[in-house]
């Protein structure tokens, strides 16, 4: 071997050692850099020298994919647990639990129990004025507490929607960054240069992206990464796409806009729609968790709150309408029923409306025998019957969906009683309660079933519409339909229209015994629910929408505008605690002051089972506790999932890092070896230099 060959070999060895030292030093310097995968120096010996190649990034794609998947699970569980824990704290603990004794006054279950306790005092020997004032105040406090919970749940749902928009706004820059890094990696690969830096940055971006949304990332032949959702919707291939979400759950129905997918223009702006949309828990990651919270879990909480309110209002109003105040008021002003004069009565049994003077003397009475009025009798027929029988002593009117009965003499009062053997009933409510003539809980919106039958008019006029969707168990919309009621005019026809629509493939619509529309999911669509997302209907000009009379709408059952009747707050005498005797004759005493027997009616109604539709009839306390237990269980499951998924993510990261992360001790040992190699090459060069010096001295 010539001296020049020896020198060339030593120089190539020196260069190889320098390159290896540079790679090793870079590994040590980035030992604590998140997402950094160590690089391996590559060199190949030839018969004459050492050939240095580009460093190789040490990473296992399967371990990286495991980290991506676990990141999505962890983020989804974490965000779900965080929000559900906040919701759970709004309700407190259920009555009878081990934590009830320490529950504060915000505990909903304790507040409901306090109403029952206050009702019990009405039957005791305590000062009736104080007992009534305490009962009314407690009823109002519990109602306001329920309204506050409802308001905060809606606020949380709004926060979730904002979080969805923020998450989408973070996903788009990540997709743009990955697309940019793809192009850089393709360029460097074509030039056969080191791609470790951009590849590390892309892996970090992919891990963050997979925490926000469940994606499948596939490496292409040119080293480009293609990204699609778990359902195969492409987000990045040869062309970048972006998610478009405008946000909004602020309307009456609490509807939310879709997340759409758009192509990206050359200038980076959003282009045309691809036709794909994202929605529901299947999206995965933080975004999927937020979507399921907004479109399934929090909607369920709102429905449970509505159930509690419906049970609360029906219990208290049932008791109040079964009695009358002493002395009775000169006017009974009913609530909005959503009916018009031409609607059928749909009542059974009988009730009596009476005019009374002090001290409880019967002046006139009108017995409404609904069987005698006939099956085709209307609201107008009942009003006419009342007026004709009272003979001018009082006047009944029905306008704008409300029944009002006014005594001709303002010193006299109006009392109503159910028939003892065949009490009047429509939609499970007595005559006075159905029209809300003596309601303790009042609202601008309907707070009781409307009791429509299949032959009644649905009241959706031309130009009005109702948008309905069916969601699966994850909250994803699987069917949608806009009902116009144009096929025919009756409720039965509307039910037929809904069942024949795309919604009918997911379940069956039907009227229940109280005139509400109920949706039963098909066996193949277990967990599916129907939701009203838009509603411009106005039943026959009464101001009552389809969402309200059908019972399918959320947030429209009167809770937000509900309050205790102001006249009952102002005067203890206005709380109905007396009972009118409908069998009394004109001129007889038919009404006496409050007595414990009548007062116990409040206890009976508060503990009675109520048919809320869709669930088994339950008493108010159980309805409340069931709702609290449900959100508590969901929060507990979410918290367990948060811990479990966090542990799995930690394990996946550990496995990945054990394979690709930097071991400083190993790198330091390698550094010593490389330093020795560098020194050896340097000594050879020094020896060759000495040889050249010797040869030159001989020549000289």
The predicted structure's pLDDT at residue 249: 61
* Pair of tokens at residue 286: 């933080």
Going by the DSSP 8-state scheme, the letter that residue 391 receives in this structure is: T
List all residues 6 or more positions away from 585 whose beta carbon is below 8 Å from its beta carbon. Answer: 362
Going by the DSSP 8-state scheme, the letter that residue 57 receives in this structure is: E
C-alpha 188/C-alpha 650 separation (Å) is 33
Phi, psi for 290 (deg, rounded to 5):
-65, -40
Domain ranges of the chain: 3-58+668-699, 62-71+163-284, 466-550
Residues 72-122 have pLDDT tens digits of: 999 999 999 999 999 999 998 776 554 544 444 568 999 999 999 999 999
Q: Give kind and range of the element (H or E) at residue 242.
A: strand 241-244
Per DSSP, what are the bridge partners of residue 50?
45
Which residue did the predictor score with more confidence, 472 or 619? 619
The predicted structure's pLDDT at residue 98: 47
pLDDT over 80 (residue 160): yes
- Chain-centroid distance of CA 329 in Å reads 43
List all residues 6 or more positions away from 126 whose beta carbon is below 8 Å from its beta carbon. Answer: none
* Pair of tokens at residue 22: 């540079």
Lowest-pLDDT choice from 84-98, 164-178, 608-622:
84-98
C-alpha torsion angle, residues 97, 101, 107, 109 (rounded to 10) = 50
Provide mean pLDDT across the span 213-236. 92
* Pair of tokens at residue 2: 């010539």
C-alpha 271/C-alpha 159 separation (Å) is 28
Lowest-pLDDT choice from 48-52, 216-220, 354-358, 584-588:
48-52
Provide mean pLDDT across the span 513-536. 90
Residues 568-583 have pLDDT tens digits of: 999 988 999 999 999 9
- Chain-centroid distance of CA 354 in Å reads 48
Going by the DSSP 8-state scheme, the letter that residue 101 receives in this structure is: G
Question: Which of 10, 528, 541, 537 lies closest to 300, judged by CA?
Answer: 528
Q: Which of left, alpha, beta for 576 (phi over 0: left; psi -120 to 50: alpha)?
A: beta
Residues 545-562 have pLDDT tens digits of: 999 899 887 655 689 899
Share of the chain above pLDDT 90, in %: 62
DSSP labels for 504-545? GGTEEEEE-TTS-EEEEE-GGGTT-EEEEEEE---GGGSS--
pLDDT over 80 (residue 21): no
The predicted structure's pLDDT at residue 251: 47
pLDDT over 50 (residue 236): yes
Phi, psi for 207 (deg, rounded to 5):
-65, -40
Residues 52-83 have pLDDT tens digits of: 666 767 677 888 888 889 999 999 999 999 99
pLDDT over 50 (residue 527): yes
Share of the chain above pLDDT 70, in %: 90
Find which of 407-411, 442-446, 539-543, 655-659 is predicted with most confidence, using mean pLDDT.
407-411
Q: Given pLDDT bands bounded at 50, 70 and 90, which one contains residue 126?
A: low
Cβ atoms 37, 59 nearer than 8 A: yes
- Using alpha carbons, list the distances in angstroms from residue 348 to 418, 451, 692: 11, 12, 123
* Lookup result for tokens 């330091």: 668
Phi, psi for 416 (deg, rounded to 5):
-135, 140
């Amino acid at each position: 071997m010539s001296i020049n060959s020896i020198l060339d070999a030593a120089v190539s060895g020196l260069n190889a050692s320098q390159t290896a030292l540079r790679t090793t030093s870079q590994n040590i310097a980035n030992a604590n850099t998140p997402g950094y995968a160590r690089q391996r120096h590559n060199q190949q010996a030839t018969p004459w020298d050492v050939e240095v190649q580009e460093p190789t990034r040490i990473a296992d794609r399967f371990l990286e994919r495991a980290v991506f998947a676990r990141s999505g699970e962890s983020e989804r569980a974490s965000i779900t647990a965080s929000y559900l824990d906040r919701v759970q704290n709004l309700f407190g603990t259920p009555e009878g639990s081990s934590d009830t004794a320490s529950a504060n006054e915000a505990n909903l279950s304790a507040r409901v129990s306090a109403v029952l306790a206050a009702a019990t005092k009405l039957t005791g020997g305590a000062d009736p004025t104080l007992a009534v004032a305490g009962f009314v105040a407690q009823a109002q406090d519990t109602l306001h507490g329920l309204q506050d919970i409802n308001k905060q749940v809606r606020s949380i749902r709004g926060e979730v929607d904002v979080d969805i928009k923020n998450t989408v706004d973070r996903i788009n820059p990540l997709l743009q960054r990955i697309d940019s890094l793809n192009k850089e990696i393709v360029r460097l690969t074509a030039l056969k240069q080191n791609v470790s830096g951009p590849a590390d940055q892309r892996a970090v971006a992919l891990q963050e992206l997979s925490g926000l949304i469940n994606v499948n990332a596939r490496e292409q032949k040119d080293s480009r990464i293609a990204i699609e959702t778990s359902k195969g919707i492409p987000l990045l291939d040869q062309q970048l796409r972006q998610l478009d979400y405008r946000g909004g759950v602020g309307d009456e129905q609490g509807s939310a806009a879709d997340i759409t997918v758009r192509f990206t223009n050359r200038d980076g702006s959003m282009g045309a729609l691809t036709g794909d949309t994202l929605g529901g828990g299947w999206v995965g990651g933080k975004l999927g968790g937020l979507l399921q919270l907004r479109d399934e879990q929090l909607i369920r909480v709102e429905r449970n709150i509505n159930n509690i309110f419906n049970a609360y209002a029906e219990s208290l109003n049932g008791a109040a309408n079964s009695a009358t105040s002493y002395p009775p008021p000169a006017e009974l002003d009913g609530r909005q029923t959503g009916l018009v004069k031409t609607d059928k009565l749909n009542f059974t049994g009988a009730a009596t409306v009476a005019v009374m003077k002090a001290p409880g003397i019967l002046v006139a009475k009108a017995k409404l025998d609904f069987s005698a009025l006939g099956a085709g009798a209307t609201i107008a027929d009942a009003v006419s019957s009342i007026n004709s029988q009272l003979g001018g002593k009082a006047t009944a009117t029905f306008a704008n969906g409300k029944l009002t009965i006014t005594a001709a003499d303002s010193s006299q009062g109006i009392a109503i009683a159910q028939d003892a053997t065949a009490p009047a009933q429509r939609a499970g409510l007595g005559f006075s309660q159905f029209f809300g003539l003596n309601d303790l809980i009042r609202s601008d919106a309907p707070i009781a079933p409307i009791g429509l039958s299949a032959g009644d008019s649905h009241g959706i006029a031309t130009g009005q519409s109702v948008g309905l969707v069916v969601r699966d168990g994850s909250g994803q919309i699987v069917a949608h339909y806009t009902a116009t009621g144009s096929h025919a005019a009756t409720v039965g026809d509307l039910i037929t229209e809904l069942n024949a629509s795309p919604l009918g493939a997911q379940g069956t619509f039907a009227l229940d015994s109280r005139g509400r529309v109920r949706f039963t999911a098909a066996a193949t669509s277990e967990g599916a629910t129907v939701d009203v997302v838009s509603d411009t209907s106005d039943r026959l000009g009464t101001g009552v929408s389809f969402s309200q009379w059908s019972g399918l709408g959320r947030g429209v059952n009167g809770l937000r505008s509900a309050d205790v009747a102001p006249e009952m707050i102002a005067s203890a005498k206005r709380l109905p605690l007396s009972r009118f005797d409908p069998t009394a004759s004109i001129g007889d005493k038919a009404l006496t002051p409050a007595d414990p027997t009548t007062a116990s009616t409040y206890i009976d109604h508060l503990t009675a089972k109520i048919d809320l539709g869709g669930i088994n009839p339950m008493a108010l306390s159980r309805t409340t506790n069931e709702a609290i237990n449900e959100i508590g269980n969901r929060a507990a499951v979410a918290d367990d999932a948060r811990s479990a998924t966090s542990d799995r993510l930690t394990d996946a990261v550990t496995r990945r890092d054990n394979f690709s992360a930097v071991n400083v001790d190993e790198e330091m040992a390698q550094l010593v070896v490389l330093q020795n190699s560098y020194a050896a090459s340097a000594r050879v060069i020094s020896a060759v230099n000495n040889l050249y010096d010797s040869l030159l001295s001989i020549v000289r």
